[in-house]
């Protein structure tokens, strides 16, 4: 199932929005952190895991999801949040720790929650997989529409939760799709030196579900694999696993010197940057002309600028508010 023209344009605009968002976050992140890098300082303190390069995964999968479908994501989730339709202004404000943020500054960039679009993420590897099974079970038990998608990294495929969740989902035939964003690196440790199989998609067979592998960060192939598996889940045929070869164009977190990368790896990855590739595809296949591309870029930039301005202008909540929201 090929994406329609309007879907392709949405995918491109969303990829641009995500990338431009990350680029401005990266710039602001260093405010107050030079000359000496100390992550405690600046308007965006703490850790920052950028999604640059991984945009095709987010748009290829989320193109098939409605507001009511559930997504669980990881510490590196800005692209997925944007593609799932998380309120960008409130997301930016959360990353700044402001009162207008998604959770008023309590969660920050690793804990983005937007109940309006059923999106949540967590900083503990693979631990969104069980909750995704639970959301899928809830829909199944209540005979309600909707699927759950759990995004994880390739490092998470070596966690117990991965294996337990695949078994449970298949056993109970849950409407859930597990998506591995394989960017090749778990912090500084390569997939080859941490994983006993070359392809994590083969692990699906051990749990009685289909496993798909999509190579080279291809947004169209991702769209197709996601479409097939999500449709399967919606039809009540059970879960699937998709492994996607993607690329982390940034460090594990900002400030990561990336000395562990083989020489030339980053250059080779930048040469395969999916954003210009996607605009070229739109042009080559006649879905958009230069002017239309420029307009999509401008729309993306405008949304990002508005979100950042909203975050900058928002206030911090009164500090005693920190003590609220512990219980319902």
Partner 1 sequence: MSEDLNTDRHLTIARSMAEAIEQQMESDPNVFVMGEDIAALGGVYGNTRGLLEKFGPERIRNTPISETAFIGATVGAAQDGMRPIVELMFVDFIGVCFDAIYNNGAKNNYFSGGQINVPMVLMTAVGGGYSDAGQHSQCLYSTFAHMPGMKVVSPSNAYDAKGLMNAAIRDDNPVIYMFHKGLQGMGWLGTEPGATVATPEDSYTIEIGKAKVVREGTDVTIVGLAMGVHDALKAADKLATTGVSAEVVDLRSLVPLDRETVIESVAKTGRLIVVDEDYNSYGVSGEIIATVTEHDISKLKASPRRVTYPDIPIPFSRHFEQFCMPNADKIVDAYQSMVKGAAVSV
Kindly list the residues in this chain that would bind partner 1 in the complex (CB under 8 A): 36-41, 45-47, 94, 97-98, 101, 104-111, 122-127, 155-156, 158-161, 186-189, 193-195, 255, 259-260, 316-317, 319-323, 326
Nearest residue (CB) to partner 1, 40 versus 144? 40
Concatenated DSSP letters of 276-318:
HHHHHHHHHTTS--HHHHHHHHHHHHHHHHHHHHHHHHSPPPP
Nearest residue (CB) to partner 1, 84 versus 191? 191
Compute the least distance from the CB of residue 202 to partner 1, in Å.
16
Spatial separation of the C-alpha atoms in residues 65 and 181, rounded to whole Å: 17
Concatenated DSSP letters of 182-204:
E-SEETTEESTTT-SSS-GGGGG
Compute the least distance from the CB of residue 195 to partner 1, in Å.
7
Compute the least distance from the CB of residue 118 to partner 1, in Å.
21
Nearest residue (CB) to partner 1, 3 versus 186? 186
Nearest residue (CB) to partner 1, 216 versus 321? 321
Compute the least distance from the CB of residue 14 to partner 1, in Å.
25
Compute the least distance from the CB of residue 320 to partner 1, in Å.
7
Nearest residue (CB) to partner 1, 10 versus 113? 113
Spatial separation of the C-alpha atoms in residues 90 and 98, rounded to whole Å: 9
Nearest residue (CB) to partner 1, 161 versus 275? 161
Spatial separation of the C-alpha atoms in residues 83 and 313, rounded to whole Å: 24
Compute the least distance from the CB of residue 44 to partner 1, in Å.
9
Spatial separation of the C-alpha atoms in residues 135 and 87, rounded to whole Å: 21
Spatial separation of the C-alpha atoms in residues 273 and 239, rounded to whole Å: 31
Compute the least distance from the CB of residue 109 to partner 1, in Å.
8
Nearest residue (CB) to partner 1, 98 versus 287? 98
Compute the least distance from the CB of residue 169 to partner 1, in Å.
19
Nearest residue (CB) to partner 1, 4 versus 325? 325
């Amino acid at each position: 199932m090929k994406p329609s023209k309007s879907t392709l344009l949405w995918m491109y605009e969303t990829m641009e929005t995500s990338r431009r968002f990350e680029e401005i976050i990266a710039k602001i992140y260093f405010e107050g952190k030079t000359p000496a890098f100390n992550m405690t300082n600046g308007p965006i303190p703490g850790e920052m895991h950028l999604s640059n390069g991984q945009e095709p995964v987010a748009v290829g999968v989320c193109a098939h999801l409605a507001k009511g479908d559930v997504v669980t994501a990881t510490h590196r989730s800005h692209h997925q949040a944007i593609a799932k339709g998380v309120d960008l202004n409130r997301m930016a404000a959360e990353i700044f720790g402001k009162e207008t943020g998604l959770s008023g500054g309590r969660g920050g960039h690793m804990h983005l929650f937007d109940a309006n679009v059923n999106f949540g993420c967590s900083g503990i590897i693979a631990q969104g997989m069980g909750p995704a099974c639970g959301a899928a079970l809830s829909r199944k038990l209540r005979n309600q529409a909707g699927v759950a998608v759990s995004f994880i990294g390739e490092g998470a495929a070596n966690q117990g939760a991965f294996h337990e969740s695949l078994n449970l989902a298949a056993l109970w035939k849950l409407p859930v799709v597990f998506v591995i964003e394989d960017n090749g690196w778990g912090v500084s440790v390569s997939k080859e030196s941490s994983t006993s199989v070359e392809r994590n998609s083969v692990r699906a067979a051990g749990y009685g579900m289909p496993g798909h592998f999509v190579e080279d960060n291809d947004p169209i192939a991702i769209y197709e694999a996601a479409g097939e598996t999500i449709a399967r889940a919606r039809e009540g045929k059970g879960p699937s696993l998709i492994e996607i070869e993607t690329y982390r164009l940034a460090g594990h977190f900002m400030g990561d010197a990336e000395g562990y990368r083989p020489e030339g790896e980053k250059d080779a990855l930048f040469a395969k940057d999916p954003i210009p590739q996607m605009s070229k595809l739109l042009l080559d296949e006649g879905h958009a002309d230069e002017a239309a591309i420029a307009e999509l870029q401008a729309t993306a930039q405008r949304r990002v600028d508005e979100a950042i301005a909203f975050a900058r202008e928002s206030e911090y909540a009164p500090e005693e508010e920190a003590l609220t929201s512990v219980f319902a």
